Amino acid sequence: MAHNEAITPVEDAAAFETLFYRSPTGLLILDTELRILRINVTRPVLHEAPPEQIIGRHFTDVYDFSAPGDVEAMLHGVLESGAPARGRLVGVRPQGAPGPKYLFSVSASRLQSPQGRVLGVLVEMLDVTEREKVSARLHVVGSVREHVGQTLDVVATCEELVQAVVPDFADIAVVEVVDAVIRGENPPLSPLGREVPLRRAAFGHSGGDEQIQAHPVGDVRALPFPTPYAQTLADLKPRVVALGADTPWLAAVPPRGEAIRASGARSLITAPLTLRGTVLGLLSLYRTDEADVFDTDDVTLAVAMAAYTALCIDNVCRYTREHAIALTIQRHVLLPRPATQTTVETAHLHVPSEVGGGGGFDTFALPGARTALVVGEVAGQGIFAATTLGQMRAASHSLAALDLEPDELVARLNDASISLAQERAALPPGDPLHRQPLTASCVYAVYDPFARTCTIALAGHPPPVIAHPDGRTEILDLPSGPPLGSVEGPSFAATTVSVADGSVLAFYTASLLHASPSPDALQRLLAHPDRPLQDLCDDVLYRLRDDDDTRHGDVILLLARTHAFPADQIAAWQLDNHPEAVATARAHAQHQLTLWGVDEETAYTTEMIVSELVTNAVRYGTPPLRLRLIKDRTLTCEVHDSNPLAPRLRHAKTIDEGGRGLFIIAQLAQNWGVRYSPDGKTVWAEQIL
């Protein structure tokens, strides 16, 4: 045919007939009253009656639409406006036919003559049932992967699964988890014993009716036998089960049977929550529409969702076990109660972080009735952070025994941190610690009740707050060295501040500031330093923001209220730089020990220690000399002189007349040492009372 030849009416009609009857979609021609004039008979799903029984009838008399009013309004709109309607999703089945509705994409266009007279409407119906089912399943899978596993809590994970599948995939969902798994224990191997209890962790119903469930959430009991639930956890095979009044196993489980009947459930899928041959729990899904029962594709999807949830639960359990181990280690590292000294009253607040951070605090006695106060934090999480915290605590105690000044102690603690970091770097690349840098912060303070001062050194740590007895509070302006583990940076410095009796010192981790409602919240709460310290700690706790985004580590607060040392528990004397000073010192000591009521054995030992300390000071020291006795939980003898040179313990030979002084002291005392100060040194020895 030439290009310029017109199409004849016969050819036009032939083309229309071919397109209409060979179209892969259902086609209907309706008149202006929406009566069926012609129908594509190649789509039997659209009708079961012969065409002659359909022609001339109103389309809603032939088809059962899910929303007939909406469809009729759409077609009238097309007839009136002439604008076509495209892709309206509608559930359809032949009127009166049993079974589920098929999902069709309905489009409509107005038919009119060349003169513009409206003749009717052409309706195109495309079966998209399978396409939409696949799309719906993909949506459910995406929802599960997006929302399940967002928390580190087993019950919350189960609730996330229920919210993801109801109502898009199931009308009712129940998740039950082996009770031991929720407690953080290892899951049992398959097959699951009949007596193993499961906890109902989550329940969801599309109608929001929580009363129809057989057992409340939180209920713990073994699964009934013989039922699909128990059998699924015995062989780890999913099951799709039709439910009805004559379902045989419902009579064996009256509570569940009554709940299933009350809900109107018609179909059930049971899928095991399993991983590596172990049983974590069970997922049960129900549908109530008899025309929309579960099929094999739904079972495959349920198994995939159960497997993903089991993996999330296993991750939670592994974290829970590791977190419990880390907290156990941390509890052993931290003191059950910080030791309250005679001159320092303490209380503390410790809120472990869910994401993990090795925070710790400590208080311990130092010679001379002084008290050490320490708060620190190690970067990292879990067991590694807790064990590193333990190493740092052991190092700080060992260094404190050397009676170092706070800045020197922190500097040596930094050296220890660098050594630990080098050990980490030398680990094999596959070791998790190899990739974790070691950094830590620390504040180390020493309170001296006689000088009524506190000497503080910081290493990348926030400065303490001091609350004065009159209610004034201030953040101490102190120089801070770099965090522990730093190879480069400014040197560490110690600052000595005066502390009046009844003052409260607050040491804390940086996370406390992040979790507080405002930066100055701690200062406002400490404005009443006469209140019990534990009440102050509780007030801080009650005002913390319970938001994981605001806490980057452990929240620790250590409060210390200072007191003067009892005047009747200390005695001091100035001594002449003369050999006779030894006898004078012994006489002073004997008289004072008698006043204190010290037993004879301890008094005799003390006199020997005083004699040797004063003898060494007279021979090798520089005046002025001073003797001081301190009666606390220990009995301390101190002799001060102005010579900064340290005495040295030596083992005298048989023919030597001297050299046994410090050796004798080491044998008599439980502990001894040397403390340096700007005006000389103090040699001390302690005995346990």
For residue 1, pLDDT over 50 is answered with no
53 and 195, same domain (yes or no): no
- pLDDT band for position 659 (cuts 50, 70, 90): very low
Predicted confidence band of residue 325 (pLDDT cuts 50, 70, 90): low
Tokens of 319: 């974290």
Claim to verify: residue 547 and residue 612 sit in the same structural domain: no
Structure-model confidence comparison of residues 64 and 673, the more confident one: 673
End-to-end CA distance of the chain: 124
Contact in structure between 646 and 674 (CB atoms under 8 Å): yes
**Residue 522: pLDDT over 80:** yes
Buried b (16+ CB within 10 A) or exposed e, 133-153: eeeebeebbebbeeebbeebb
Residue 407 lies in a domain: yes
Residues 351 and 467 in one domain: yes
Using alpha carbons, select from 556, 545, 571, 560 the residue that is nearest to residue 631. 571
Same domain, 558 and 571: no
What mean pLDDT, rounded, does the chain reach? 83
Residue 438's pLDDT band (boundaries 50, 70, 90)? confident
- Exposure of 493 by Cβ count < 10 A (0-12 exposed, 13-18 middle, 19+ buried)? middle
- Give yes or no for a contact between 454 and 446, defined as CB atoms under 8 angstroms apart: yes
What are the pLDDT digits (tens) for 49-70?
Answer: 676 777 888 888 777 777 788 8
Give the pLDDT band (50/70/90) at residue 296: confident
* Pick from 359, 527, 518: nearest CA to 440: 359
Examine the domain organization and report whether 384 and 280 are in the same domain.
no
Q: Do 155 and 276 belong together in one domain?
A: yes
Confidence tier at 412 by pLDDT (50, 70, 90): very high
- Last residue within a domain, chosen from 89, 111, 127: 127
Same-domain status, 424 and 544: yes
Residue-level pLDDT at 355: 55
User: Both tokens of residue 117?
Assistant: 């007279």
Q: 459 exposed, middle or buried (CB, 10 Å; 0-12, 13-18, 19+)?
A: buried
Assigned domain for 2 exists: no
Q: Which residues pair with 637 in a beta bridge?
A: 629, 685
- 45 and 145 fall within a common domain: no
Containing structural domain, residue 595: 567-688
What is the reported pTM? 0.60
Rounded to whole angstroms, how far apart are CA atoms 410 and 444? 7
Return the structure tokens found at 276: 């590596």
- For residue 411, the model assigns a pLDDT of 93
When comparing pLDDT for 652 and 629, which is higher? 629
Q: Give 488's pLDDT tier (boundaries 50, 70, 90).
A: confident
The CATH number covering residue 393 comes to: 3.60.40.10
User: Can you tell me which residue has the tokens 């340290």?
Assistant: 646
pLDDT grade, residue 595 (50/70/90)?
Answer: very high
258's tokens? 């009554």
Interaxial angle between packed helices 382-400 and 406-425, expressed in degrees from 0 to 180 and rounded to the nearest 10: 140
The letter for the amino acid at 630 is I
* pLDDT average, residue stretch 649-654: 48
| Whether 616 contacts 606, CB under 8 Å | no
User: How many structural domains comprise the chain?
Assistant: 4
pLDDT at 656: 41
DSSP state letter for 252: G
Could you tell me if 629 and 652 are in contact, meaning their C-beta atoms sit under 8 angstroms apart? no
The string of pLDDT tens digits covering residues 73-127 is 888 888 888 888 888 888 777 776 666 677 888 888 888 888 888 888 888 888 7
> Does residue 464 fall inside a structural domain?
yes
Q: What is the CATH number of the domain that holds 70?
A: 3.30.450.20
Distance separating alpha carbons of residues 170 and 288, to the nearest angstrom: 9
* Same domain flag for 462 and 524: yes
pLDDT at 553 over 80: no
Q: Is the model's pLDDT at 6 over the cut of 60?
A: no
Residues 6 or more apart whose CB falls under 8 angstroms from that of 487 comprise 418
Q: What is the pLDDT of residue 2?
A: 45
Strand residues in 151-304 grouped as ranges (E): 172-178, 198-205, 220-221, 239-242, 267-275, 278-287
Q: Which residue has the tokens 């599960």?
A: 144
| pLDDT of amino acid 499 | 95
Is residue 329 domain-resident? no
> Nearest-CA neighbor of 377 among 334, 430, 323, 336?
334
pLDDT of residue 654: 41
- CB within 8 Å of 287: residues ≥ 6 apart: 170, 171, 172, 265, 266, 267, 293, 294
- Shortest CA distance to 164 belongs to which of 309, 311, 271? 309
> Can you tell me the distance from the alpha carbon of 404 to that of 410, in angstroms, rounded to the nearest whole number?
9
Q: Are residues 22 and 171 in the same domain?
A: no
Mean pLDDT of 511-516: 84
